[in-house]
Amino acid sequence: FQESVKSQHTERCVDFLTKELKVSNEKEAGERVFFVSARETLQARIEESKGNPPHLGAIAEGFQIRYFEFQ
């Protein structure tokens, strides 16, 4: 399920940047779209504020990689 949502969001974001805003080409836009859960990011930042590593806020597998790319 998560992969289908990620694919759908990525496609919409790339279309928005390339076709509607016309500020990027498809390759560049695809490299700049990130898929990070707002809830996971909030949890990670809460953990960081407590002095803990951010991965303690992870909800779904692969969060640490997505969060690092987002940073």
**Digit-coded pLDDT (tens) for 30-63:** 888 877 777 888 888 898 899 998 877 666 777 7
64 CB neighbour count, 10 Å cutoff: 15
pTM over 0.75: no
- When pLDDT is cut at 50, 70 and 90, the band that residue 29 belongs to is very high
- For residue 44, which of 61, 36, 56, 60 has the smallest C-alpha distance? 56
- Taking the C-alpha atoms of residue 21 and residue 24, their distance in angstroms, rounded to an integer, is 8
Q: Is the dihedral of CA 5, 36, 26, 23 positive or negative?
A: positive
